[in-house]
């Protein structure tokens, strides 16, 4: 089992090494990186390329570790017992399986994505230590032990909102997806829009990287935003010439809403454009 | 295997543990990567040993350092190219002109000596240029790289050197900052200021109440209650401009930590001392400000007040009407501060200037007095003490 990237996903050499290490050693891999660099995509692409089933567990601030294993619905059982329902006699009727359980039961080695683990409570990763290490857990209500048939490939993403505990990190591989350089970016764009005009890309890239360099910008545009923007430029059939426009009156790039998601950033950008326009006029 | 490397990482204060080292060994054992490719080894060890992007740069440096030993060995190999052989090559291929050039540089022996010296100086693979040894250049050493492909000094294109480039680029250098560390510490300190209360959607089982109600009604009656949440409410005032410029960074850290820690937080800016208005946006401070009177009437007295400022100004700016450096204030800063303190019982002042200088600055002493000594230095410890004070 080896991950080599897919037709729709460009994986850098270091990412491949990290993913393959995690697959071979059956340990989880934590993927961090700027938003929009394809952290969640990675899990789906690994599943696709290995032809494996994927289980996605999205973490929210209220998610508890137990919910990934199973949940025992005591309240419903209590109510049912009041009504004398037959179901009450078997406790199994009130246990609903979590994503981990589902993944453990899979016949073929599946991919388990634990998405945005940093959203949860600070103790959340600690509560999953043993389960992810041994790939088994105990169901108190029924007294059975659930053990993974095939140890799933566990991919965990984090946006760095909270720091993860050391004990948890020690058990995982780690990869930081850095922002792609222009060459990798071009590959990525080619994968998504093979028939995009070459000069349009070049001009768009220039603007894109220029915007990323603007000092004080709150939310730098990311890969996924670039791809959205290119899509808009293509559907609008914007000519590369317009992007090359150095006329200061049109300094704000067309359809900039796809790149700048923050009101303050748009203001900042407009102000900068305004300043440079004034400078140009003075120069005249 | 690689024990030295591991200890060097430890020495560089990277949080690596035995478990991670064994994991790396296991990966090498299972041939996750081709163990002869240093590049792959670099990726693998990075993935196994580094667990936080802020350590990536440090790791690159240590790796580069550990690896340099290997590189030196390369250099030795290079100097072992038999001189005899070079001489022969030279005679075979060099034109008369080039032979003369060699003579002008001091002959073969001198040239070899310079070559050795330069190999020692040279750290990276080099392409182009006119001094270093490498490919495609016009260095005098290019003279014996005469045949069309050039003589490759050393072995085949060293994969090691390609790898050097990867970590020597130090792409992660700007991620190596203590800013995050700073805010985490501040967050922990701010955490002292907590008052939990149950409000909002009922999501938890209230066991006591359920038992009580069940006994009372004679059938099972499930009671729920809302989750516990931090209910503390905070007003933050930041001094901006002038002498505060030197403390912008620490203020930013405090601000970002406070914003995530407190759900109910309002912040305002002022300059030097509190007068009849504060503002929320520094670029629109004259058009879009908040009257201090409105503020006192808007936020109830259970808000906790935190002032951040260096309290360094002329004493007149505090004690006299019209003392402000920016406009004519009808009432003195002291009056305004006292008014505010009369409304909000829990208030403190955080001062970025080290405590030992406070005595010497007249205005600082005055403010400290107005705040009945509730002034704390803007350090982790100071914040800690300040939060205890606010909790009283």
Torsion of CA A29, A34, A37, A42, to 10 degrees: 10
User: What percent of chain B is helix, strand and coil (3-state, nearest 5)?
Assistant: 55, 15, 35
Tokens at residue B233, please?
A: 């409410």
Contact A21 B48 (CB under 8 A): yes
Contact A82 B219 (CB under 8 A): yes
Contact A20 B32 (CB under 8 A): yes
When the pLDDT of each residue in chain B is averaged and rounded to a whole number, the result is: 73
Min Cα separation A24/chain B (Å): 7
Higher pLDDT, B37 or A32: A32
Interface test with A, best of B20, B28, B32, B47 (most A CBs within 10 A): B47
- Per-residue pLDDT of B201-233, as tens digits, reads 777 888 888 888 888 887 888 888 887 777 788
The span from the CA of B10 to the CA of B4, in Å, is 10
Min Cα separation B50/chain A (Å): 7
With a threshold of 0.80, does the pTM exceed it? no
Contact assessment for residue B175 and residue B53, using Cβ atoms and an 8 Å cutoff: yes
- Cβ within 8 Å of residue B181, ≥6 positions away: B54
Supply the DSSP symbol for B139.
S
The span from the CA of A74 to the CA of A52, in Å, is 34
Say if residue A55's pLDDT is above 90: yes
H helical segments located in A26-123: 39-50, 65-69, 74-83, 99-105
Rounded to two decimals, the ipTM of the complex is 0.73
Confidence tier at A281 by pLDDT (50, 70, 90): low
Higher pLDDT, A177 or B126: A177
Q: Supply the pLDDT for residue A204.
A: 81
The span from the CA of A17 to the CA of A35, in Å, is 22
Average pLDDT over residues B158-172: 47
Residue B133 CB burial class (10 angstroms; 0-12, 13-18, ≥19): buried
Torsion of CA B102, B108, B114, B120, to 10 degrees: 130
Supply the DSSP symbol for B373.
T
| Three-state DSSP state, A180 | coil
Q: Supply the pLDDT for residue A249.
A: 55
Q: Which of A109-118, A227-236, B219-228, B279-288 has the highest mean pLDDT?
A: A109-118
**Beta bridge pairs of residue A71:** A96
Contact assessment for residue A68 and residue A102, using Cβ atoms and an 8 Å cutoff: no
Q: Supply the pLDDT for residue B183.
A: 59
Say if residue B386's pLDDT is above 70: yes
**Beta bridge pairs of residue A56:** A113
Min Cα separation B53/chain A (Å): 6
Q: Which residues of B touch A62 (CB under 8 A)?
A: 203
């Amino acid at each position: 089992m080896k991950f080599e990237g897919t037709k729709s996903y460009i994986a850098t050499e270091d990412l491949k090494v990290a993913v393959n290490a995690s697959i071979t050693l059956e340990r989880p891999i934590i993927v961090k990186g700027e938003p929009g660099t394809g952290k969640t995509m990675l899990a789906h692409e690994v599943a696709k390329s290995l032809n494996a089933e994927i289980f996605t567990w999205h973490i929210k601030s209220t998610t508890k570790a137990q919910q990934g294993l199973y949940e025992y619905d005591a309240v419903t059982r209590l109510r049912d017992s009041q009504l004398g329902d037959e179901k009450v006699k078997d406790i199994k009727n009130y246990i609903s399986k979590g994503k981990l359980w589902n993944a453990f039961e899979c016949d073929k080695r599946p991919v388990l994505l634990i998405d945005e683990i940093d959203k949860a409570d600070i103790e959340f990763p600690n509560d999953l230590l043993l389960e992810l290490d041994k790939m088994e857990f105990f169901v108190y209500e029924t007294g059975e032990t659930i053990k993974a048939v095939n140890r799933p490939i566990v991919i965990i993403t984090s946006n760095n909102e909270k720091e993860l505990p050391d004990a948890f990190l020690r058990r995982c591989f780690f990869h930081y997806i850095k922002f792609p350089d222009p060459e990798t970016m071009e590959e990525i764009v080619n994968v998504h829009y093979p028939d995009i005009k070459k000069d349009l890309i070049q001009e768009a890239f220039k603007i894109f990287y220029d915007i990323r360099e603007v000092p004080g910008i709150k939310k730098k545009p990311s890969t996924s935003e670039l791809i959205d923007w290119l899509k808009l430029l293509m559907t609008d059939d914007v000519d590369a010439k317009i992007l090359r426009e150095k006329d200061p009156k049109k300094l704000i790039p067309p359809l900039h809403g796809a790149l700048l998601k923050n009101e303050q950033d748009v203001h900042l950008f407009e102000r900068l454009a305004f300043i440079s326009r004034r400078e140009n006029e003075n120069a005249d | 295997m690689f024990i030295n490397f591991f200890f060097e990482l430890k020495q560089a204060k990277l949080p690596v543990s035995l478990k991670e080292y064994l994991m790396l060994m296991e990966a090498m054992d299972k041939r996750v990567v081709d163990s002869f490719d240093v590049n792959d080894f670099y990726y693998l060890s990075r993935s196994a040993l580094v667990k936080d992007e802020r350590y990536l740069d440090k790791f690159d440096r240590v790796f580069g350092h550990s690896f340099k030993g290997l590189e030196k060995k390369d250099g030795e190999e290079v100097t072992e190219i038999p001189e005899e052989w070079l001489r022969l090559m030279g005679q075979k291929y060099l034109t008369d002109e080039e032979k003369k050039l060699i003579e002008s540089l001091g002959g073969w022996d001198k040239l070899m000596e310079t070559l050795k010296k330069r190999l020692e100086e040279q750290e990276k693979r080099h392409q182009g240029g006119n001094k270093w040894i490498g490919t495609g250049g016009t260095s005098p050493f290019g003279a014996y790289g005469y045949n069309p492909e050039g003589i490759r000094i050393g072995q085949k294109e060293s994969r090691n050197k390609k790898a050097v480039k990867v970590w020597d680029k130090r792409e992660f250098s700007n991620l190596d900052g203590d800013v995050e560390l700073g805010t985490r510490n501040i967050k922990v300190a701010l955490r002292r200021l907590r008052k939990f209360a149950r409000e909002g959607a009922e999501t938890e089982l209230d066991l006591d109440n359920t038992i009580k109600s069940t006994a009372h009604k004679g059938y099972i009656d499930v009671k729920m209650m809302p989750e516990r949440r931090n209910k503390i409410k905070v007003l933050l005032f930041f001094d901006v401009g002038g002498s505060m410029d030197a403390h912008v960074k620490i203020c930013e850290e405090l601000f970002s930590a406070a914003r995530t820690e407190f759900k109910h937080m309002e912040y305002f800016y002022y300059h030097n001392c509190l007068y009849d208005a504060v503002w929320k946006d520094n670029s629109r401070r004259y058009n879009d400000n908040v009257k201090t009177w409105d503020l006192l009437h808007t936020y109830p007295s259970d808000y906790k007040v935190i002032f951040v400022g260096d309290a360094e100004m002329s004493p007149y700016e505090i004690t006299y009407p019209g003392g402000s450096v920016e406009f004519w204030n009808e009432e003195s800063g002291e009056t305004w501060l006292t008014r505010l303190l009369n409304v909000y019982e829990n208030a403190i002042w955080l001062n970025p200037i080290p405590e030992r200088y406070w005595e010497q600055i007249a205005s600082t002493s005055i403010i400290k007095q107005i705040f009945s000594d509730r002034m704390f230095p803007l350090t982790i410890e100071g914040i800690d003490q300040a939060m205890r004070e606010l909790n009283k």
